[in-house]
């Protein structure tokens, strides 16, 4: 089939920025909620995703299990993807919004590393440099006492919670990168809706089990938190829709670069609505992470453009 063309120049990039803004608003709603566990929030989001994807599965007649040879990949895609979501929500709750968002954007760097390990894709010295930049950014945000001393400023709550949030955000990023590797392995043999369906169903089942084990299931006590729960589901769904539309009409490289606007939005929203201006350590870490992620995206983009020109010749 023919590729879709954007109705106007830059429409795909606008969709990518809008997607980043919606994801940032969802993160802000999570920070504003009180006494609701991150696992319960994740379960609510999974319900919204299931409600959105189900009509698509019926319309495209994809079935609910997928091809037999791909089900194990779909299962791990759902498990790792939902795990990444829960851990990232936990990180948002226990550490500054900007810090958790910056760590989440080390994803492209770790995706390149995992693709080299499992898919035998090329991994150059530039990729290694970008990985070191990303790790430097994470260290500047985590600020371990053995490097920065015992008195760490600019964190929410205790340093123990800050460290837990950093580990959760980093593990979430590695899990999300692993899901991308699985999706590359599966390729176009599985419909996009079916991939999201596994993500939502396995995530919901896992969240329900975890809530019963932790005894953390509870309805929000006030109407405001219930509104925030609904908004998190809608904003997350809207962010995914616009990100998908952006990738349909624009190359992945520019879209990945525009997605780093999520970091900028997180800084602005944290300062405006949470009264917590980002520290200089966070700014330094953000610069390292954005530089590494953008560099990785630009290299992948140039490589794909070069391959396309070679095919045309």
Triad 42, 241, 187: Cα angle to 5°? 90
Asked whether residue 53 is domain-assigned, the answer is: yes
- Helix and strand tally (H, E) in the chain? 13, 0
Residue 167 belongs to a domain: yes
> In 3-state terms, what secondary structure has residue 233?
helix
Q: Which of 20-24, 114-118, 255-259 has the lowest mean pLDDT?
A: 255-259
Q: Is residue 101 part of a domain?
A: yes
C-beta of residue 140 within 8 angstroms of C-beta of residue 288? yes
pLDDT recorded at residue 5 = 47
Residue 165: CB atoms within 10 Å: 27
Q: What is the DSSP letter of 123?
A: -
Residues in contact with 275: Cβ distance below 8 Å, sequence separation at least 6, in sequence order: none
Tell me, yes or no, whether 1 lies in a domain.
no
Q: How many domains does the chain have?
A: 1
Task: Note whether residue 4 is domain-resident.
Answer: no
Q: pLDDT grade, residue 31 (50/70/90)?
A: confident
Task: Tell me if residue 153 falls in helix, strand or coil.
Answer: coil
* 300 within some domain: yes
Q: Please state the rounded mean pLDDT for residues 184-197.
A: 77
Any domain includes 5? no
3 domain residue, yes or no: no
Report pLDDT for 149: 60
Banded pLDDT at 286 (limits 50, 70, 90) = confident
Confidence bin at 150 (pLDDT 50/70/90): low
Its domain, for residue 275, covers: 11-310
Buried b (16+ CB within 10 A) or exposed e, 132-156: ebbbbbbbbbbbeeeeeeeebebbb
């Amino acid at each position: 089939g023919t590729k879709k063309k954007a109705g106007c120049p830059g429409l795909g990039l606008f969709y990518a920025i809008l997607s980043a803004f919606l994801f940032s608003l969802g993160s802000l709603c999570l920070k504003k909620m009180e006494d609701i566990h991150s696992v319960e929030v994740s379960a609510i989001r999974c319900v919204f995703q299931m409600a959105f994807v189900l009509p698509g599965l019926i319309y495209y007649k994809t079935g609910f299990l997928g091809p037999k040879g791909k089900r194990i990949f779909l299962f791990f895609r759902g498990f790792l993807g939902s795990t990444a979501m829960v851990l990232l929500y936990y990180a948002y709750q226990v550490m500054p919004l900007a810090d958790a968002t910056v760590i989440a954007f080390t994803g492209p760097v770790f995706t390149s590393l995992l693709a080299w390990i499992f898919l035998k894709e090329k991994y150059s010295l530039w990729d290694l440099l970008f990985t070191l930049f990303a790790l430097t950014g994470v260290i500047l945000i985590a600020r371990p006492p053995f490097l920065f001393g015992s008195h760490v400023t600019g964190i929410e709550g205790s340093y123990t919670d800050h460290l837990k949030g950093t580990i959760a955000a980093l593990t979430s990023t590695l899990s999300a990168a692993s899901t991308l590797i699985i999706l590359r392995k599966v390729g176009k043999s599985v419909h996009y809706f079916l991939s999201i369906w596994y993500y939502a169903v396995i995530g919901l089942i896992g969240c329900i089990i975890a809530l019963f084990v932790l005894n953390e299931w509870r309805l929000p006590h006030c109407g405001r938190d219930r509104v925030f729960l609904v908004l998190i589901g809608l904003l997350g769904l809207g962010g995914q829709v616009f990100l998908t539309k952006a990738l349909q009409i624009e190359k992945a490289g520019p879209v990945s670069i525009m997605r780093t606007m999520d970091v900028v939005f997180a800084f602005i929203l944290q300062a405006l609505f949470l009264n917590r201006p980002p520290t200089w350590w966070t700014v330094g870490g953000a610069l390292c992470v954005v530089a590494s992620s953008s560099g990785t995206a630009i290299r992948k983009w140039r490589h794909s453009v070069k391959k396309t020109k070679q095919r045309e010749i």
